[in-house]
Amino acid sequence: MRVMMDSLEILPEIATALAEGRPVVALESTVIAHGLPTPTNLETAAAMEQAVRDGGAVPATIAVLDGRIRIGLTADDRARLTEPGVAKLSRRDLAATLASGAPGATTVSATMICAHVAGIRVFATGGIGGVHRGAQDSMDISADLLELGRTPVLTVSSGAKSILDLPRTLEYLETQGVPVLGYGTDSLPAFHSRESGLPVDRRVDSAEEAARIADLHWQLGLGGLLLCNPVPEDAALPGQDVDAWTDAALALAAEAGISGKAVTPFLLSRVAQASDGRTLRANTALLIANAKVGAAVAAALSRQ
């Protein structure tokens, strides 16, 4: 922990908010470096931070820059993450990237770790990683699922990315002991679609209810929680359309021999093309909506 703390740099505004017990919401940076095209990535990152502020909390976008974990980024920092060669950081990559001094953008798992070290309890993202389709052969399962089981941070997302095997993802979350809460919904959202047809563990209808469950979960010494907020209705897409686009993209990925970290950005890019950009619009809408919910939950936790 000493080395991690020595490698941590927290913007003064965020450090002050944490010291005073005011609400802070962590945001990932891989959405800037790898998740969205420029300039949509920078515009969306700024809109997410503004949504957190509008909700009465302080945004803390996280990345690794110059051998330091940066809790809070300036506009120049965010612009640096759009340059070629920025690493995509999961749990296993953090130490090596810090040691090298190379820039890195944090995924869900890495953002959760850094948020926890900084004392931030709420994290808002788009969709978590999960069990990939065909994982029974490839063993391609996101580290996000393990991190949710071990790191005491509440993650707000629109479920898992719709390119994944959602039933197996839910089963894996159950194995890890992760409560899957539906924010105003009984069904697991499917990222671009509002419903997957799969049930959540419990529906919550307010930020206060979610905060109360999280607080008790952590008092028991348990790990993370997943709070699922469906994509806004005016941006949502039919699930059958997304499935068809995903199946076609998976076939192309297999044909091209694409695997590992490259799979998700490839599939999302192909699906965006097939949908004439509609999945991209849904993605940006849900990211901003989740930042807003994250602010509400962080504010409720600060009142516990």
Residues 6+ apart with CB under 8 A from 303: 211
What residue type is 8 in one-letter code? L
Phi/psi for 139 (5° steps) reads: 60, 30
Among 28, 88, 147, 292, which one carries the catalytic annotation? Answer: 28
Among 49, 88, 147, 161, which one carries the catalytic annotation? Answer: 161
Q: Which two tokens stand for residue 29?
A: 């940076």
Name the maximum alpha-carbon separation found in the chain: 54
Is residue 297 within 8 Å of residue 156, measured between CB atoms? yes
Indicate if 28 belongs to the active site: yes
Indicate if 49 belongs to the active site: no
Q: Which two tokens stand for residue 256?
A: 């091209």
Distance in angstroms (rounded) separating the CA atoms of residues 27 and 225: 16
Catalytic residue set: 28, 161
